Amino acid sequence: MNDVTSQESGFEKVFRNSKDGLALFKEGVFFDCNQSMLDLVGIENEEDFFGLTPFDLSPEYQLDGRTSLEKGTEKIEQCLREGSVRFEWLHKRFNGDLFWCEVIITKLMLNGEEVIHCNWRDISEKKNLALELAQQKETFETLFNESMDGLSVFDGQKYIDCNKAFVRMFGFNSKEEVIGLHPKDISPEFQADGRPSKDAAKEIIFDSLHKGGVRFEWVHSKKDGTEFWTEVIVTKVTLQGADLIYAVIRDISEKKELELQIKERNLELKESNVVLENMIESLQQAQEKLVESEKMASLGSLVAGVAHEINTPIGVGLVGISQLMDESAAIRKRYELGQLTETDFEDFLNNSNELSGIVNKNLERTAQLVKGFKQIAVDQTSEDERQIDLKAYIEEVVFSLGSLTRKSNVQVAVDCPDRVQVVTNPGLLSQVLTNMIVNSINHGFVDHTSGNIVISVNECGDKTFNLRYKDDGKGISAENLPKIFDPFFTTNRGKGGTGLGLNVTYNIITNALGGSIKCYSKLGEGVEFDMRIKVKQHIK
């Protein structure tokens, strides 16, 4: 009797002091519990616990979707049949918080009555970790299986897993067709660089296992033998203590096709560039020749003008010399015949003196013209800088073109301060003025019986001058005005125009003379060029 009492006392002590939540229930309701159970479910007094059912401390549904009442009743019936049942259960505290328990229910006989002993152990932390791991596993499996890239796992000898994209990519019907294959089995005999696929695959497998990861491009072959380009990333992973190779395969056939097209296109462009460079070089040579022709044409205008100017003094000189020679012959004849009188001799001397003066004056004029022509001609073919009187030099250039201006009945006025001494390249200035005047005559006054040109010069800085050129010719249309400085643009090509005159002028002004040029014109209102030029030195 004492042993029974002692056992009951020991059971009572274990029941009351256990760290697990312990309780007894019969006929479906609790009638006893320990303090750990009260703490576990968040109830202060055992009176509030007594009379509750296990389902009062459970949510309506368990994690698998079944109701707690349905599933719990099954567990109780199983316990009554088998004597004891262990399972995991989602419980609910008195305040409504959910927590996971490992539950052991055992059938007992107490005071002649059949009761059920409950043992609840809180496993929320363990269960939540397991659920989190399960969720991560599910996430990884979803990512693995649903990825658009072909994913596979290789153990160094054969494929042991792959996803759906891998199966589709290589034209297989199921994963089972892939398992057991080697990478060489889904590759052509040789790669694009000529290496055997078998040898190249061994090298890559070795590198991935020893270096941890490799990225490369690879030619694969589908089940039907079709070859295609892929980008492959292989990474060493360790699963369950074994080193495996995780491979990501992406089809880059379109990319490689584009690369090939780009490469071919680049070769075509390179060939085209060579042709274009040769054409540009030829055009540059042609342009240089045309520019030189334009300069020579300008020089030709100068030659024609000076030739016309020297015709008059040379003609007068020739007449005077001829007359002097005739009179000399006549006076000699009289002398030889003894008929020379003092009056005849005096007349001869007077006439000789007058004719000599006329010849000398006209020869001096010719010499001046030739000297001026020579200087301007040298200037137009030379790049040397020298000191000039700005006004005098402009007048010389205008005078040298006198035959052209008189023939077209064009008056040229020069408005420039006297004694402006500068150091510059006079040939460039001569080229500009010659081009301007010839352009006015050939274009501006082509349908006019007369015309006027005004060239004005003003100082606007120590070494900068404003050169304005204006004519009252037919002007330039608004459509053509923006194009007049373009090379080869001309409205007179049918009559020999090259379209380089104003382009040469523009380049001389903006480059060689370091200035600027603008053109203002309207049809019927003539043209005006506003130019800024710089000189090397302004001597004051």
CA distance 26 to 113: 9
145: which residues sit within 8 A by CB, 6+ positions away? 163, 164
Three-state SS at 80: helix
CA distance 198 to 189: 7
> Is the separation of the CB atoms in 463 and 538 below 8 Å?
yes
Name the strand (E) or helix (H) holding 206: helix 197-211
> Is the separation of the CB atoms in 151 and 163 below 8 Å?
yes
pLDDT given for residue 1 in this prediction:
44
CA distance 431 to 7: 133
CA distance 439 to 427: 18
Distance of CA 198 to CAs 187, 189, 190, 249, 424, Å? Answer: 8, 7, 8, 18, 79
* Among the listed residues 74, 79, 78, 102, the one whose alpha carbon sits nearest the alpha carbon of residue 90: 102
CA distance 440 to 522: 14
Q: Strands of 21-26's sheet, edge to edge?
A: 29-33, 21-26, 113-122, 98-110, 84-92
CA distance 178 to 223: 10
Q: Strands of 537-539's sheet, edge to edge?
A: 386-389, 421-424, 537-539
**Token duo for residue 531:** 């130019």
CA distance 397 to 330: 45
22: which residues sit within 8 A by CB, 6+ positions away? 15, 33, 34, 36, 37, 117, 118, 119, 120
* Among the listed residues 207, 20, 205, 38, the one whose alpha carbon sits nearest the alpha carbon of residue 122: 20
**Token duo for residue 158:** 């054969």
Burial tier of 520 (Cβ tally within 10 Å: 0-12, 13-18, 19+): middle
pLDDT along the chain (540 residues), means of 10: 53 86 92 94 93 94 94 94 94 93 93 92 87 77 84 89 92 92 91 89 82 86 92 86 88 87 85 81 66 54 55 68 80 79 81 75 64 50 78 90 86 92 89 89 87 93 90 90 82 62 86 91 92 90
pLDDT in tens, 187-213: 999 998 999 988 888 888 888 777 777
* Among the listed residues 441, 412, 399, 430, the one whose alpha carbon sits nearest the alpha carbon of residue 308: 399
This prediction has a pTM of 0.39
Dump strand ranges (E) for 96-183.
Answer: 98-110, 113-122, 150-154, 159-162
pLDDT given for residue 4 in this prediction:
46
> Is the separation of the CB atoms in 179 and 159 below 8 Å?
yes
- Cα 379-385-387 angle, rounded to 5 deg: 95
* Among the listed residues 509, 521, 425, 502, the one whose alpha carbon sits nearest the alpha carbon of residue 466: 509
CA distance 139 to 270: 51
* Among the listed residues 117, 88, 102, the one whose alpha carbon sits nearest the alpha carbon of residue 26: 117
AA identity, residue 273:
N
Burial tier of 535 (Cβ tally within 10 Å: 0-12, 13-18, 19+): buried
- Cα 106-111-116 angle, rounded to 5 deg: 20
**Token duo for residue 10:** 């020991």
- Residue with structure tokens 């980008």? 231
> Is the separation of the CB atoms in 252 and 217 below 8 Å?
yes
**Token duo for residue 248:** 């990501």
CA distance 480 to 127: 88
